[in-house]
Amino acid sequence: MSPEAVTLLFLLPFQLAALERQVFDFLGYQWAPILANFLHIIIVILGLFGTIQYRPRYIVVYAIWTAIWVTWNIFIICFYLEVGGLSKDSELLTFNISRHQSWWSENGPGCVRKEASMSGIKGLDSHSYVSVIGCALEYRYIEVMHSSFQILIALVGFVYACYVVSVFTEEEDSFDFIGGFDPFPLYHVNEKPTNLLFKQTYL
């Protein structure tokens, strides 16, 4: 199997994981994660292109991004676990544009969504109260598992990127530029004067 095929098979789960997370963030209108996921997808494609086209700089960019990606996912874990004064009920991930929460908050495993009319309250006749019961797993733990998985594959990607860059560097150092590193050139040019060549032919 060619190195390009190995790279494609290796980075394909990274792309699928990022796309899966992007879909659920879109469903929950989580604008900050949507933007971060979009950048992540672009950088993974850049790393794939750099590996196939032997561009170590692109792979270095991908390796640097994995460190940023790990940091971002640690922040997401802290956000949903409410570490350091963060609150999962805040509008931080939606840029204070809306009050949407994670899609999993109402659609998690076992969750039952119920709407109760609030027509009895003045000024809220057109609104309804949504309650979610029976969830087998709280949505914040699902988001934490998502981020933990992203951290894991990012660390694997970082190690792989460092390995590929080292391989490319070794190949560049050992590459023979048409005998440039050899003491005796591969293509030897006869430097005898033309008059000596004529004399040898007449003899």
Distance between alpha carbon 37 and the CA centroid of its chain, in Å? 8
Is the pLDDT at 106 greater than 70? The verdict is yes
The CA R_g of the chain, rounded to the nearest whole Å, is: 29
Supply 162's token pair.
């460092």
Whole-model pTM: value is 0.74
- Per-residue model confidence (pLDDT) at position 9: 63
Give the position of tokens 């007449």: 202
CB 58 within 8 A of CB 50: yes
Distance CA 56, CA 176 (A): 19
Distance CA 90, CA 79 (A): 9
- Per-residue model confidence (pLDDT) at position 165: 86
Choose between 121 and 136: higher pLDDT.
136
